[in-house]
Amino acid sequence: MLSLLAIMGLAGCTKKEDVNNQNKGENIVQEDEYEEPQDNQEEVADVESIEDYSSYEGKWTLDGAPVIDSGALLTITIKNGNELEGDLFTCQNISDREAEIENISGTIVDGECSYYFTDDGWEGSGTLLIHLGNDKISVEVKDYVMADNNLTGYGISGKYNFVRLDEANNNPYNLKKYNNDWSYEQIQEEIDKRQQFRDGCFFYKEFTDYMETKRNCVDYEVACSYLYDTDKQYYTADDFSGDSWQIIHLAKNEIYARHGYIFTDPDVYDFFMSQLWYIPEVKPEDFDDSVFNEYEKANLQILSRLDNI
């Protein structure tokens, strides 16, 4: 009898220990399950800590204006918040040279990333150090190596400071429109701004010869005067009989230029950009010829017939 009770007592103790061990085991499991979410939360926190640079997507230029003749254009795409992809393009009007680094890529950390390039279009190589900050982007070229066969010296080197491109800005050179009360200093300042357009203009010598010999214009008057008053009087074909084809072509387009038409022909564009009374304001697709008055409409018909281009 005693041995049976002893056996039963021993059995009872064994079950109690098993229960305690099982409870301890559940407690351990519960502790593990409790700690695991903490680890996940830390991982989520790490992902969320990645700074989002997607606001820097888009096009950037040196002055915020479109690149027409000279300058630099940086195009950027941002993926996953901090992965930068892009292209850097530069051009120089005077020398008619261009350079470009394509397929730029890098991970942005604390507002900075770098990219090693092997060809800028002139076989130059180096490292782009890109810094994003305060709605501006700076790009510095480190350790630039110019190719031995590059005798021009042109390439993507040095440092560039970019601001966001304002594509609505049709007056990238901050030109001012001439009026009669300008001082000589104001006129000269504006003439200097437009120097590059005179230098590269196919029509400019023919125009200046015409204005000086036939219109008796001197000095800055050449840059401030119209070829014809096509907005104020009617002309006949005979009025243009002694003019060269270049002058007729310009006189026809002058009717459009008075209203800020932006020319797609580079030679015509350069010519009117050299004139102080012209400001590029209206893109061809937005231009409405209803702005022409009756004089302009009649004179445009005559000049269009005479213009052989």
Domains of the chain: 54-164 (2.40.128.120), 184-306 (no CATH)
Regarding pTM above 0.75, the answer is no
Judged on CB neighbours under 10 Å (0-12, 13-18, 19+), 187 is: middle
pLDDT of residue 26 exceeding 80, the answer is: no
295-302: long-range pairs with CB below 8 Å, 24+: 295/230, 295/231, 295/232, 295/233, 295/234, 296/230, 296/231, 296/255, 296/258, 298/234, 299/228, 299/230, 299/234, 299/235, 299/255, 300/230, 300/252, 300/255, 302/235, 302/236, 302/237, 302/240
Residue-wise pLDDT tens digits, 230-252: 999 999 999 999 999 999 999 99
Residue 3's pLDDT band (boundaries 50, 70, 90)? Answer: very low
Of 126 and 134, more confident: 126
For the chain, give the mean pLDDT.
Answer: 85
Predicted pLDDT of residue 309: 64
Residue 63's pLDDT is: 80
